[in-house]
Structure 1
Amino acid sequence: MAPPLLQLRDIALTFGGTPLLTSADLSVSAGERVCLIGRNGSGKSTLLKIAAGLIEPDKGSVFTQPGASIRYLPQEPDLSDFQTTFAYVEAGLGPTDDAHRARYLLEQLGLRGDEEPAHLSGGETRRAALARALAPEPDILLLDEPTNHLDLPTIEWLEGELMQSRSASVLISHDRRFLENLTRTTVWLDRGRTRRLDLGFGAFETWRDQALAEEERDQHKLDRKIVAEEHWIRYGVTARRTRNERRVAELQALRQQRRAYKSVQGKAVISVSEAEKSGSLVIEAETIAKTFGERPVVRDFSTRIMRRDRIGVVGPNGGGKTTLVKLLTGVLAPDSGDVRIGANVQMAALEQDRDSLDPNSTLVDALTQGRGEQAMVAGRHVATYMKEFLFQPEQARTPLRNLSGGERARLMLARALAQPSNLLVLDEPTNDLDLETLDVLEELLADYAGTIVLISHDRDFLDRIVNAVFAPEGNGRWLEYAGGYNDMLAQRGGDFALRGVKPAKTEKSAAAAAPPRPAKEAKRRLSFHEKHALETLPAEMKKLQTNIASLQIILDDHTLYARDRAMFEKATAALSKAQTDLAAAEERWLELEILREEIDAQ
């Protein structure tokens, strides 16, 4: 095996009296693609900063091969010291690096190079920082949440760029599809320590679950051994006479081992306040249009959204996703066309812009709208509600400016889900959430009895949640596709960048652009909608079979028609409907079961 370009050994670091890292290792060889996985707050970003030389650990060693170059992408890039985006990217080049590559990357990422940093959006800032990290083609790339605030075309472009790059990379990301497509090694940071798996992220979750199950068994054995030793100390005949010092010392060591064990932090217990059921029709739009200046954002778009629909809205940043959703939900009036909101619709919205949070406000005030620490939120005491979203009691008075990106994301989610609703509008809910919290959010949305409109750039999340996708076709036209993100790609011909969806480039940049690379086909997964159907259909079929048997008993009475013709006709119609429903349920279950077996066999 080639010697590592970068090696961190036995890294320890304490912040504010609390150990964050206790024994963390990280090794990166030439060309290796590593994903660094862990919960929000576990120390992933800190470990990456140590690797980049930005933080000194309290203990441990950091070795970099002489002459090896490293570039680091922070979660929150700072361009404030530079006049333009090109000046920022150019400042990251070495003496022998090519400035033309810097311009090429900026153009590929939809930037001109003359933008003033003070006027950049979050997505534009992230694209400039990516260009700065990629331009020198370093030996090692350290990328902290590189897909945050990026649109789908840019994420897929970045995947292709990293696949072809000679640089080794360490990736922190919540984007499952991105990690599955790119990584070949997984490092799991858990409770201050790291474990390494020489397989990509696709194998991580099974491996993690097995490791935690083994750990739980080991702790159970340790607890039983401690109980047995304590019993011997108290009641053993020999112990009462001589108090065997060796056995007493062993018991003390076992107790110390148990005290030193740090249990896994519990999962978030996300819940949503549901309002009364809406009418069957939630939103109906007829030939709506919206133009800003001379630019059509939405043109002649019609749709019907029914109760329990899960709609995904995708497209490039600035392509009109948020405008379309605001038109559909009545927040924004169309220039022409009509929007009708159905009966008894109550909407709760998660906004993407976290700048709406007052940085000087406390966590409790943000959740209770200033009603204090004894207020109720979503039917629970605010302290209980905070705990469900993994906030500790001591954080109640924490100013929001001190929260991490992941904590701010959970706070915004907690505020949105506390509002009673039967229509959820979620704008980029996955940004900065860790994978475990994403799992819980997916389960909640699968069980939500209302309707969901979801704006997201997370392909895996879309495939698991939605049953229809609205995607732009260019010049203000939007089309509705059945299924999830992969289904939409298949219907479009497999390329989301078709039909003018990506920002236009100059003729010069188009000529300089590398030929398109075929996207790696992502492994098909059951969506949460399909999983839910697989789990619930057997019970539904059993209920239908019981109903059919009961109706058959009623109709077996040969005197029924003569005695009560209305009852006979009602029972006959009910039997026919139940048999039709059973046949449809059985067919759907069989289709899903076959699909599940095909996926398991991949």
Structure 2
Amino acid sequence: MNLLSVENISKSYGERVLFSDISFGVNKDQKIAFVAKNGTGKTSLLNIITGKDIPDEGQVVSRNGLHIAFLAQEPDLSADLTVEETIFATDNKILKIIREYETALENPDDTEKYQKAFEQMEIHNAWDFETQYKQILFKLKLDQLSQKVSSLSGGQKKRLALANILISKPDLLILDEPTNHLDLEMIEWLENYFAKENITLFMVTHDRFFLERVCNEIIELENGKLYSYKGNYSYYLEKKEARIAAEKASVEKAKNLYVKELDWMRRQPKARTTKSKSRIDDFYIIKEKAHQRRKEHKVQLEINMERLGSKILELHQVSKSFQSKKILHKFNYTFKKGERIGIIGKNGTGKSTFLNMITQSVKSDEGKIIVGDTVKFGYYTQSGIKIKPEQKVIEVIKEFGDYIPLAKGRQISASQLLERFLFDRKKQYDFVEKLSGGELKRLYLCTVLIQNPNFLILDEPTNDLDIVTLNVLENFLLDFPGCLIVVSHDRYFMDKIVDHLFVFRGQAEIEDFPGNYSDFRVYEDSSPAPEKEKQQNTDKASKKSWKTGNSQSKLSFNEQKEYGKLEKEIQKLEEEKLAIESLFSTSELDNEQIGEQSEKLQQLLEKIDEKTERWFELSAKMEG
């Protein structure tokens, strides 16, 4: 069933053409990702589809009564409302029924109002919906329901907007970089949610794990043309490579034909027949095809950076706290040449603070941080770059350096570096204020690299970068001979770039894990460590205290039945979980079996969480 059709739309800003005459459709239950370079109009397209902007030409046609929800990069929320008020300030009928029921619970003496609200909950089967929406809020760490929107951070606002649209159950969900501002735990939960829900998605995202696990179609805009791939990210890579190879073969064939036809054109007399005029027209078509070139700037960089000495970076008994929040406690580590460390952990565990301490912009409370004399840091922070008014792109980078020295006395100029990171010669002389958010991040990255550091520190470098730029950055970093520390939620990026991980668990607990992110995920899923069980117990306790308003009512007859049934179901699921966990410790499984059992275990954990949350809700009501 077709939900929405984009028909021959075009959009320009002055002389800058974003896209022209593009068409595609979105059908029910499709999960589509839209892929394009930064600055080619991804966000503009989303705004046109959602009616926030209009195309210069063409139209967008949707089914009558289609409910579309849009998650923008900068959510538009009412600052005066609380988190809870924001959730309930929608047209969702079931949410209003739940609100009336919870209001009735707060006034138990009004039995008539309570009975009416209870009946409405029964009629519309709102119990399951209530459990589901509270689980969404819990997973997105939005448990402070009375907190004002005005006091939320940018990341919290993004998560609240995401929760709002997930709860609203739209017919079509449109997302602009949904994984930005989410930690890895939230991203993986969102992946699983989208993968198992019958929901129609159209999204822009650079998260390639997300593309792999969620999407069943990828639409790519490249050089003004649309290409559709009916599969996930792996399929897209395979078919795109085949398409490019076919295009190159076609261009080579056209070049050979062009030489032959050019010779014919030169030999033609001035008076030409109708037949020859037709051949002349064909000649110009062949000429255009023969001169097609892909805009690829692959430069192999054998970087001639300053040599690192024997002493690079040492941390001795380093501690850091902010009031009761511990970041580090007597932390020790000595960096070696060529180390490539990834840092992962939940938001707020101190990852950025750790980087700021290394670069000495934040002082430690105790201990010593010793930086070697030969170390030259290149630090890419989340705060971005400060741009002067009316600066051009090339002027910005030249403030930091004119070239990077390469091996054998060669060098790469600032302009060549910009080309490698997809700023063509024309774009380099654009004013910076014309750049998109992703292009600004790309330019900032170039200003860090042009300084030729030998110790790179990158704090969320992949946010807002398109997939093409990510591939360029990955290739650069794979060639980079110095030390590297990366904080990133981009699991695909981390797998490709780093050798081992610092896992920030919170409260100054930092684990040094010898492997990449995928290795860590398998280890976490297959090892029921005491810490993991402790965390699960903490999570369950949090769920129990989720909302005290529910504790003011005794259980109904149906709820008592549900309560008893849940206890047996949870016990059975826990037994299945223990059986799988014992397999990992007592059996020799191959990689495929480990993958299958890990997936089963993950599904079991989700079911246990869901049913345990409901059990605690009913338990809290019974205790009231």
1:500-531: CA deviation from partner (whole Å, max 9, x where unpaired): 4999945343999xx9999xxxxxxxxxxxxx
CA-CA distance at 1:459 after TM superposition: 0.7
Q: Secondary structure at the match of 2:469?
A: helix
* Equivalent position of 2:459 in the other structure: 427
Q: How does 1:158-177 map to 2 (within 5 A)?
A: 158-177=190-209
Matched, 1:480 2:503: no
Quote the Cα distance in structure 2 between the aligned partners of 1:80 and 1:5: 29
SS in 2 for 1:204: helix
Matches within 5 A, 1:87-106: 87-95=85-93, 97=95, 105-106=136-137
1:391 is aligned to 423
Unaligned runs of 5+ in 1: 519-594
* More displaced 10-residue stretch of structure 1: 137-146 or 95-104: 95-104
What corresponds to 1:109 in structure 2? 140
Q: Find out whether 1:310 has 2:336 as its counterpart.
A: no
Cα deviation, residue 394, structure 1: 4.8
One-letter amino acid of the counterpart of residue 39, structure 1? K
Distance 1:436 1:368 in 2: 24
The Cα of 1:458 is off from its aligned counterpart by: 0.6
Query: In the TM superposition, what is the alpha-carbon distance from 1:120 to its structure 2 partner?
Result: 3.6
Which residue, out of 497, 509, 520, partners 2:546? 509
Distance 1:163 1:353 in 2: 33
Partner SS, residue 314 of structure 1: strand
Aligned residues: 511
Shift of 1:262: 6.4
What's 2:20 paired with? Answer: 22
Structure 2: stretches of 5+ with no match in the other structure:
100-129, 406-411, 551-569, 577-590, 596-624
* 2: CA distance, partners of 1:352 / 1:272: 28
Distance change >3 Å, CA 258–CA 309, structure 1 → 2? same
| Residue 227 of structure 1: aligned partner | 259
- Alpha-carbon distance in structure 1 between the residues aligned to 2:262 and 2:431: 47
Q: Does 1:251 align with 2:276?
A: no
Report the equivalent of 1:51: 49
**CA–CA separation in structure 2 for the residues paired with 1:348 and 1:80:** 39
Check conservation: 1:289, 1:301, Cα contact below 8 A.
yes
Matched, 1:324 2:354: yes
Deviation for aligned residue 1:461? 0.8
Match in the other structure for 1:352 = 382
Residues 97-155 of structure 1, C-alpha deviation per residue, up to 9 Å, x if partnerless?
45666665334311224444454433223212212221211111111111122211111
Residue of structure 1 aligned with 2:224, choices 175, 179, 192: 192
* Paired AA for residue 230 in structure 2: D
Query: Are residue 338 (structure 1) and residue 368 (structure 2) matched?
Result: yes
Q: Aligned residue for 1:32? A: 30
User: Which residue is 2:581 aligned to?
Assistant: none
| Partner SS state of residue 335, structure 2 | strand
Whether contact under 8 Å (2:343, 2:501) holds in the other structure is: yes
Distance 1:263 1:22 in 2: 19
Within the candidate set 402, 421, 432, 1:376 is matched to: 402
- Deviation of 1:447 after TM superposition, in Å, equals 1.5
Whole-angstrom distance in 1 between the partners of 2:389 and 2:542:
38
* 1:182 Cα offset (Å): 0.6
Any conservation in 2 of the 1:222–1:254 contact (CA below 8 Å)?
Answer: no
CA distance in structure 2 between the aligned counterparts of 1:180 and 1:192, rounded to whole angstroms: 25
Match of 1:403 among 424, 435, 439: 435
Question: 1:133 aligned to 2:165?
Answer: yes
Change (3 A) 1:262 1:85: farther
Q: Is the 8 A contact 1:73 1:142 kept in 2?
A: yes
Deviation at 1:81, TM superposition (A): 5.7
Check 1:355–1:421 CA distance in 2 against 1; reply closer, same or farther (3 A cut): closer
Aligned partner letter, 1:483: G
The residue that corresponds to 2:3 in the other structure is 5
Displacement after TM superposition at 1:453 (Å): 0.7
Say if 1:321 and 1:69 are closer, same or farther in 2 by CA, change over 3 A.
Answer: same
Q: Tell me the distance in 2 between the aligned counterparts of 1:342 and 1:462.
A: 26
For 2:281 and 2:236, the matched residues in 1 are separated by: 36
Percentage of identical aligned residues = 28
Aligned to 1:522: none
SS of aligned partner of 1:326: helix
- Correspondence for 2:215 among 155, 176, 183: 183
Mapped partners of 1:245, 1:396: distance in 2: 46
Find the residue that maps to 1:203 and give its secondary structure. helix
Are the counterparts in 2 of residues 86 and 103 from structure 1 also a CA contact under 8 Å? no
Q: 1:215 to 1:354 in 2, by over 3 A?
A: same
SS in 1 for 2:338: coil
Q: Is the 8 A contact 2:346 2:505 kept in 1?
A: no
Is the Cα contact below 8 Å between 1:24 and 1:189 reproduced in 2?
Answer: no
- Distance change in 2, residues 1:222/1:398 (3 Å): closer
- Which letter does structure 1 place at the counterpart of 2:323? G
Please state if 1:151 is matched with 2:183. Answer: yes
1:416 maps to 2:414: no
Q: 1:387 to 1:141 in 2, by over 3 A?
A: same
Q: 1:402 to 1:240 in 2, by over 3 A?
A: closer
State the partner residue of 2:249: 217
Secondary structure, aligned partner of 1:491: helix
Alpha-carbon shift at residue 173 of structure 1 (Å) = 1.0
1:420-457 Cα shifts (integer Å, max 9, x gaps): 32111011111111112211211111111110011111
For residues 174-222 of structure 1, the C-alpha deviation after alignment (integer angstroms, 9 at most, x for no partner) is 1111110111112122222222222112211111111122122222322
Distance 1:247 1:508 in 2: 84
Residue in 1 that maps onto 2:495: 463
* CA distance 1:113–1:193, shift in 2 (3 Å): farther
Deviations 1:481-501 (A, max 9, x none): 001112222333459994649
Look up the equivalent residue of 1:51 and give its one-letter code: I
Corresponding letter in the other structure for 2:238: T
Q: As a proportion of its length, which structure holds more helix?
A: 2
How far the C-alpha of 1:72 sits from its partner, in A, is 1.1
**Cα shift at 1:163:** 1.9
Between 147-156 and 118-127, report the one with greater CA deviation: 118-127
Pair 196,396 (structure 1): closer, same or farther in 2 beyond 3 Å = closer
Alignment RMSD? 3.5
User: Which amino acid letter does the alignment assign opposite residue 173 of structure 1?
Assistant: T
SS in 2 for 1:105: helix
TM-score by length of 2: 0.73
Match of 2:125 in 1: none
1:449 counterpart (481, 487, 491)? 481
SS of 1:187 mapped into structure 2 = strand
Distance 1:224 1:411 in 2: 39
Which residue of the partner structure matches residue 74 of structure 1? 72
In the alignment, residue 509 of structure 1 is paired with which amino acid?
Answer: W
Name the CA distance, whole Å, in 2 between partners of 1:494 and 1:38.
37
What SS does the aligned partner of 2:546 have? Answer: helix
TM-score when normalising by structure 1: 0.76
Give the drift of 1:91.
4.1
Residue 36 of structure 1: CA displacement?
Answer: 1.4
- For 2:23, the aligned partner's letter is D
| CA pair 355-345 structure 1, distance change in 2 beyond 3 A | closer
Secondary structure (helix, strand or coil) at the match of 2:20 reads: strand
CA distance in 2, matches of 1:211, 1:78: 40
C-alpha separation in 2, matches of 1:263 and 1:114: 57
Query: Conserved in 1, the CA contact under 8 Å of 2:206 and 2:464?
Result: yes
Conserved in 1, the CA contact under 8 Å of 2:314 and 2:370?
A: yes
One-letter code of the match for 1:110? K
For the structure 1 residues 258 and 69, does the alpha-carbon distance in structure 2 shift closer, same or farther, using more than 3 Å as the test? farther
1:507 counterpart letter in structure 2? K
| Structure 1 residue 37, shift from structure 2 partner | 1.6
Deviations 1:30-81 (A, max 9, x none): 2221121222223332222222222222333422222221111122223366
Q: Secondary structure at the match of 1:35?
A: strand
